[in-house]
């Protein structure tokens, strides 16, 4: 039941924004009496933390592809940008046309950063972990002669993070964006910039 409450609250907050969602509304949506909801979460703020944690876990999946032992760097990149498209699609289906660009993940994230000091710390730790995964994958790809060895792995990690975060933000502010096409373009540009080009 706890997971259902979190997922329902996440959907409602994405659609309506944090301030417009009430504990009464969430209780009704999941089919609980309001006092029963407070058995699971002592306050709306505590539930909001759980919602942000859900998005945090989803967002951290983008580097998971680089941990697969037998995957090429090129395929890992392609899957990573494919995951980006899926994530935007998931969030989009929760919003109707009137709500797109009005609410969304980044609006909730700003609220969370304002309300909970630990959120910023968690994101910092997550990026440190993500960068370490990218560093390892880059070293392996260089050793396998998949990608060039004349650029900074840290710059590449920052570029990938910026493309994903920026793409998510842009999809919120510019709902007409063709995310699938942009995602493929991101992949092609990054891959062409880092791959080893065979001499003819």
How many Å apart are CA 18 and CA 109, to the nearest integer?
Answer: 10
Domain of residue 73 covers 52-194
The total of structural domains in the chain comes to 1
pLDDT at position 112 is 85
Spatial CA neighbour of 76 closest among 199, 197, 190, 198 = 190
pLDDT at position 123 is 83
Spatial CA neighbour of 94 closest among 130, 58, 146 = 58
pLDDT at position 189 is 96
Within a domain: 35? no
pLDDT along the chain (200 residues), means of 10: 92 85 95 94 92 80 87 95 82 61 71 84 87 93 94 92 87 83 94 81
On whether the CB atoms of residues 157 and 126 are closer than 8 A, the answer is no
pTM of the model: 0.78
**CATH number of the structural domain spanning residue 186:** 1.10.357.10
3-class secondary structure, 189 = helix
Within a domain: 155? yes
On whether the CB atoms of residues 66 and 74 are closer than 8 A, the answer is no
Within a domain: 22? no
pLDDT at position 63 is 85
What long-range pairs does 75-79 form, CB within 8 A, spacing at least 24?
Answer: 76/137, 77/187, 77/190, 77/191, 78/187
Across the strands, what pairs with 123?
A: none
Within a domain: 6? no
Residue 25 tokens read as 């509304």
Within a domain: 13? no
Where does residue 4 fall: left (phi above 0), alpha (psi -120 to 50 degrees), or beta otherwise? alpha
On whether the CB atoms of residues 145 and 196 are closer than 8 A, the answer is yes
Within a domain: 78? yes
DSSP letter string, 101-150:
TTB-HHHHHHHHHHH-HHHHHHHHHHHHHHHHHHHHHHHHHHHTTSB-SS
pLDDT at position 200 is 40
pLDDT tens-digit map of 32-73 = 999 999 999 999 999 998 988 887 777 777 888 998 889 999
Within a domain: 42? no
Within a domain: 39? no
């Amino acid at each position: 039941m706890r997971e259902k409450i979190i997922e329902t609250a996440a959907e409602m907050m994405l659609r309506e924004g944090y301030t417009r969602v009430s504990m009464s509304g969430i209780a009704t949506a999941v089919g609980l009496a309001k006092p029963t909801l407070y058995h699971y979460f002592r306050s709306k703020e505590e539930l909001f933390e759980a919602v942000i944690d859900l998005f945090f876990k989803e967002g951290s999946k983008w580097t998971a592809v680089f941990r697969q032992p037998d995957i090429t760097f090129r395929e890992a990149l392609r899957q990573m940008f494919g995951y980006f498209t899926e994530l935007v699609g998931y969030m989009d289906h929760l919003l109707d046309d009137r709500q797109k660009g009005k609410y969304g993940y980044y609006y909730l994230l700003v609220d969370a950063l304002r309300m909970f000091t630990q959120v910023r710390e968690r994101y910092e730790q997550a990026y440190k972990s993500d960068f370490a995964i990218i560093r390892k994958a880059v070293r392996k790809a260089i050793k396998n002669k998949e990608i060039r060895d004349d650029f900074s792995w840290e710059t590449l990690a920052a570029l990938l993070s910026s493309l994903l975060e920026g793409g998510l933000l842009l999809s919120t502010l510019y709902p007409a964006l063709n995310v699938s096409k942009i995602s493929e373009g991101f992949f092609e540009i990054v891959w062409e910039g880092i791959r080893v080009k065979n001499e003819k």
